[in-house]
Amino acid sequence: MDTIKLYGQTYVKNEKALVDTLFNANGTANGTFKRYKNRIELTHTSGEVIAIVRAIDGVVISTKSNGRYMFSTSSKADSLFSIPSDYSAKIPPVWELLKSCNV
């Protein structure tokens, strides 16, 4: 899987693929993703890991600059990743993503 979509935004597998999307007719990717056994990390184009999708419960959480997690998303993550404010709108896309990534 080279590309994932979540909340209408596209994430690619690595920085090279991110650079390649700069000149793509389909649009520029919003960042990169890294898949682990129990989570998917979403990284902004700056290279900063800003959000984590946990496989255990499908919760999208934010990271802080010190590497610790918050149990919710920050307003910065909500804005950067187009996370909906309505809880019921957040969950189905996350479970679909986790299923498609076999996490």
Using an 8 Å Cβ cutoff, are 47 and 18 in contact?
A: no
Q: What is the pLDDT of residues 4-51, one digit of tens each?
A: 888 888 899 998 998 888 887 778 888 999 998 888 888 888 887 777
What is the pTM assigned to this prediction? 0.70
Using an 8 Å Cβ cutoff, are 48 and 41 in contact?
A: no
Taken as a whole, the chain contains a residue count of 103
Using an 8 Å Cβ cutoff, are 62 and 50 in contact?
A: yes
Q: Select from 55, 42, 50, 53 the least CA-distant residue to 75.
A: 50
Which alpha helices (DSSP H) does the chain contain, by range? 15-20, 75-81, 87-100
What pLDDT is attached to residue 26? 77
What pLDDT is attached to residue 89? 66
The domain spans of the chain are 3-100
Using an 8 Å Cβ cutoff, are 77 and 83 in contact?
A: yes
Of the segments 30-34, 84-88, 97-101, which one has the largest average pLDDT value?
A: 30-34
What pLDDT is attached to residue 67? 58
**How many angstroms separate the CA atoms of 54 and 37, rounded?**
10
